């Protein structure tokens, strides 16, 4: 059974930074694409960023590109989301997720490609 636990959320002023972490259980973390998604109140869950199993390839939503950075440490079974220059529209619950397929050669932006999800961490950006 895989467990994903997010941390690092909180309240930040516009222009500030936060770093989210997602710790994964299990011995096969390094074989899977990992993604970050977010869901604001009243809105659908949306893709934020994803990273390949090796860490060599990343993809970002247009709304966060240049401000957010996804990274991973396979030795620590952890994926990170560094969020800089934050905006009020970044306010949401943030979820990390693990890909359904081991060793996928591309990163997916679709929630349906991920079958393990964390419980979420709340991020609030004040104006």
- 59, HSE (Cβ side, Cα atoms, 13 Å): 14
User: pLDDT tens digits, the chain, 127 residues: what are they?
Assistant: 899 999 999 999 999 999 999 999 987 899 999 999 999 999 999 999 999 999 999 999 999 999 999 999 999 999 999 999 999 999 999 999 999 999 888 999 999 999 999 999 999 999 9
> Is the CB of residue 102 less than 8 Å from the CB of residue 36?
no
Burial pattern 77-93, b for ≥16 Cβ within 10 A else e, equals bbbbbebeebeeebbbb
∠ CA 85-108-28, nearest 5°, is 100
């Amino acid at each position: 059974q895989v467990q994903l636990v997010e941390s690092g959320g909180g309240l930040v002023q516009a222009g500030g930074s936060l770093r989210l972490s997602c710790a994964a259980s299990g011995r096969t973390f390094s074989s899977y694409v990992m993604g970050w998604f977010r869901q604001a109140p009243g809105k659908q869950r949306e893709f934020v960023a994803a990273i390949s199993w090796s860490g060599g390839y990343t993809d970002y939503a247009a709304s966060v590109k240049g401000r957010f950075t996804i990274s991973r440490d396979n030795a620590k079974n952890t994926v990170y989301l560094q969020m800089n220059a934050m905006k009020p529209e970044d306010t949401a619950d943030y979820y990390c997720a693990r890909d359904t397929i081991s060793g996928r050669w591309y990163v997916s932006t679709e929630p349906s490609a991920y079958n393990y999800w964390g419980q979420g961490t709340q991020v609030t950006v004040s104006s």
